[in-house]
Amino acid sequence: MSFSISLFKTLMGISLKATFTEYYFANYQPLVLLTYAAEYNFFELNPNGYHIINLIFHALNSVLVLLLIYLITENAQISFLLALIFSLHPMQTESIAWVSALKELMCAFFYILSFISYIKYSKDGKQGFYILSIILFICALLSKPMAITLPIIFILYDYYKDDLSSAKIIEKLPILTISGLFVRITFSAQESGGAMRLAHIHNVVSDFFYAFYNIAFYIAKLILPLNLSAHYAYPERFSFASKEFVIALLVIAALISYLINFKKIKREINFGIASFLVGIVPILRFTPLGDTIAADRYMYIPIISFSFAIVMFLKPILSNVKNAKKIVIVITSAYLLFFGAISFTRADIWRDNFTYWENVLKTSPNYNNALLSMGYYYLEENRNTKKSREYFIKVINDKDDNKKKPLCITWGCLICMKKI
């Protein structure tokens, strides 16, 4: 289990007012902090309890996905399939196995419930459901600001149901205003914790192309979840000859083509594609926060719309194939077993700091924070001073990164080296 013990000790000393009026660890997530406090009251530092709560939230979210898709499609088979993909996909493992990812689970819980309430309002016209959707939307934002995209998803749903009008858009102004407020709160929280300053290693041009590269990165991982990592570091250098730049150009070209042909594409496919693209805007790194270019946990909610788009695209194709039902059952079963096997093996990565950083170094062998953490592990826990020195020396000798790495990394290495 990898989480900060200091966080739980901090939670025990803060008031309810401070939870909602102050930032903690460069984030504003008061409902998550309150949940951690409640968990600590029952489990203290026994990790089993925290993992059980995460599993319960994921199970509930899977059921909610089933209900959500059924309300949208009124097709039980598609709903069940998408719920299975949501529950078993290997990219979901981080949000479940990592205790600190409770924010993803809670945000999704309120996010999906809010969407369900809005659909009920759209179908029945009862204002109570709309008010409930707003309350649940605020709860999602208080869990994680990634929920800011939900008002746009509501508009896309109106389009999908051919019920989009100026009145429907005006109706969304209050929740769009709430989203704007939480965007400001999020940037303020990140600035308070120095996360914005960690973004200094890139320029506007590289940030722009990395954002579009990320779209391709996430799509590739969602379709074929191989070489997953607990931490995806930025490429060491950006250049116009790099694969990231070339992929970004291809993505931009594909998006332009999609927009040109938007009206020619079936409405349900557009709904899935547009919902996915809108849902990932907050995590594309147009404005980088921290030192990660991507994370598996960021796909916890967007995987729903992505899977929806894929299924809606394949549905008419398969309907013209002989014995399509048998073929779909065989391929889908194999695919889901593949997902489950990878998810099972990946869960162990979050067992402790060693397994976590060891996994990071497999995909980012020159990532300084991982090297420093492994060096500290061998120094303090394993007592292998020779191995520890090797990791620290790699960080100190990283001349290419001297200008952009935080000074504390070098200081930390030098301090630890004195102990060896």
Average pLDDT on 232-243 reads 76
Give the length of the chain: 420
pLDDT tens-place string over residues 118-130: 999 999 989 999 9
Residue 84 has pLDDT above 60, yes or no: yes
Give the sign of the dihedral formed by CA 162, CA 177, CA 144, CA 129.
negative
Is 242 or 59 the better-scoring residue by pLDDT? Answer: 59
- Are both 63 and 115 inside the same structural domain? yes
Residue 148 has pLDDT above 90, yes or no: yes
Per-residue pLDDT at 187: 85
Torsion of CA 248, 251, 257, 262, to 10 degrees: -130
Give a yes or no: residue 359 inside a domain.
no
- Are both 21 and 108 inside the same structural domain? yes
Give a yes or no: residue 10 inside a domain.
yes
Task: Provide the domain count of the chain.
Answer: 2
- Are both 390 and 303 inside the same structural domain? no
Of all residues in the chain, the percent with pLDDT exceeding 90 is 53
Residue 302 has pLDDT above 70, yes or no: yes
pLDDT-wise least confident of 56-60, 74-78, 200-204, 287-291:
200-204
Per-residue pLDDT at 413: 63
- Are both 401 and 341 inside the same structural domain? no
Is 325 or 283 the better-scoring residue by pLDDT? Answer: 283
Per the structure block, which two tokens stand in for 268?
A: 């349900």
Residue 359 has pLDDT above 70, yes or no: yes
Domain that holds residue 162: 5-350
From residue 400, how far is each of 383, 404, 412, 414 by CA, in Å?
30, 9, 18, 18
Give a yes or no: residue 61 inside a domain.
yes
Give a yes or no: residue 357 inside a domain.
no
Boundary residue ending a domain (350, 378, 400): 350
Note whether 280 and 218 are within 8 A (CB): yes
Give a yes or no: residue 398 inside a domain.
yes
Give a yes or no: residue 236 inside a domain.
yes
Rg, Å, the chain Cα set: 22
- Are both 25 and 71 inside the same structural domain? yes
pLDDT tens-place string over residues 95-112: 999 999 999 999 999 999
Nearest alpha-carbon partner for 360 in 275, 296, 282, 406: 296
Average pLDDT on 253-265 reads 91
Note whether 99 and 50 are within 8 A (CB): yes
Nearest alpha-carbon partner for 356 in 99, 7, 50: 99
Give a yes or no: residue 413 inside a domain.
yes
Regarding pTM above 0.75, the answer is yes
Per-residue pLDDT at 2: 47
Cα of 12 vs its chain's centroid, Å: 28
Per-residue pLDDT at 201: 52
Of all residues in the chain, the percent with pLDDT exceeding 70 is 86
Give a yes or no: residue 311 inside a domain.
yes
Residue 340 burial by CB count (10 A; 0-12/13-18/19+): exposed, middle or buried? middle
The residues, ordered by sequence, that sit 6+ positions from 335 with a Cβ below 8 Å of its Cβ are none
Average pLDDT on 248-259 reads 93
Boundary residue ending a domain (301, 318, 350): 350
Note whether 139 and 178 are within 8 A (CB): no
pLDDT tens-place string over residues 160-196: 999 889 999 999 999 999 999 999 998 888 777 666 5
